[in-house]
Amino acid sequence: MSERSVVHDTFTMERRYDVPPERVFAAWADKALKTRWFCDHPGLTMEEFTMDFRVGGREYNRGRWEGGMVHTFDGVYRDIVENERIIYTYAMTVNGERISASVATVSFSANGDGTLMTFTEQGAFLDGLDNVEQRKEGTAALLDNLGASFEKSADTA
């Protein structure tokens, strides 16, 4: 077992999407839409994904990467203002070891004919198993997937 430690860090990322705030919010709020960008990664098999989008509701997913590594995301929605913000807390594990616990705030605002989305995470990274740079990299990939999901839906419209 590694030595116990906690490193706190905060980061913020912004993305502009060429769709209205209602569509971006819906991509976070609707399980079918969220599955398209949050659970779809090359080399990942999603073994479980549950989502109860309401204040106090839980979101849980467990995925297995090629090579066998299993990660979990276990979150609870703390505040929801439709089309404006979502605040949730979550913990992550890898192969059964807790690697972090975080508070995430996602805000949505109209920006021309699109949306400016701001994602802020305040994390406690545990025992040297995770760090803010890794989390920023993973979050950036997710937010890019979110943008790509809007492009794909426009292509099929």
Q: List pLDDT tens digits, range 23-53.
A: 999 999 999 999 999 987 888 899 999 999 9
User: What are 126-145's pLDDT values in tens digits?
Assistant: 999 999 999 999 999 999 99
Nearest to 81 by CA among 131, 27, 156, 29: 29
Distance CA 4, CA 137 (A): 24
| pLDDT for res 157 | 47
The pLDDT of residue 1 is above 90: no
Token pair, residue 15, equals 């993305």
| pLDDT for res 151 | 86
Average pLDDT estimate for 61-87: 96
Kindly report the average pLDDT of the chain as a whole number.
Answer: 94
The pLDDT of residue 153 is above 70: no
**Domain ranges for the chain:** 6-44+81-89+100-155
At residue 154 the predicted structure's pLDDT band, cuts being 50, 70 and 90, is low
Nearest to 70 by CA among 100, 37, 92: 92
Q: Which of 40-44, 90-94, 150-154 has the lowest mean pLDDT?
A: 150-154
Nearest to 44 by CA among 127, 142, 144: 142
Average pLDDT estimate for 82-89: 98
Assigned CATH for 6-44+81-89+100-155? 3.30.530.20
The pLDDT of residue 3 is above 90: no
Distance of CA 79 to the CA centre of its chain: 15
Nearest to 8 by CA among 126, 133, 117: 126
